[in-house]
Amino acid sequence: MKHWWVPGLRIGFEHSFIHQVADLLAAIEKGLPAAPTFREALAIDYVTDAILQSARSGRWETVRRAS
């Protein structure tokens, strides 16, 4: 956040993508793995799928494991 507006002001949705690129480039520069990994993103996708299914069914749904 130090590269944006004065404290107390919010950034917009589009600014989050700039932060993603900045984080990726910083990881590459330092030789660190980028995050989230594909497996972490897949796990999040499974959670959102279960949420949507739960909204349709009106029941608790089991979340698949990313293996």
Comparing CA positions, the residue from 32, 65, 34 lying closest to residue 47 is 65
pLDDT in the model for residue 1: 62
Which tokens is 21 given? 């690129």
- Tell whether 12 and 1 lie within a shared domain: yes
Residue 5's identity, in one-letter code, is: W
Which tokens is 10 given? 């919010």
Residue 27 near residue 35 (C-beta atoms within 8 A): yes
Q: How far apart (Å, rounded) are the C-alpha atoms in residues 33 and 36?
A: 9
Residue 59 near residue 52 (C-beta atoms within 8 A): no
- Tell whether 28 and 44 lie within a shared domain: no
- Tell whether 42 and 64 lie within a shared domain: yes
Which residue has better confidence, 55 or 17?
Answer: 55
- Tell whether 30 and 1 lie within a shared domain: yes
Per residue in 13-42, pLDDT tens? 887 788 888 888 999 999 998 888 889 999
pTM of the model: 0.58
- Tell whether 5 and 30 lie within a shared domain: yes
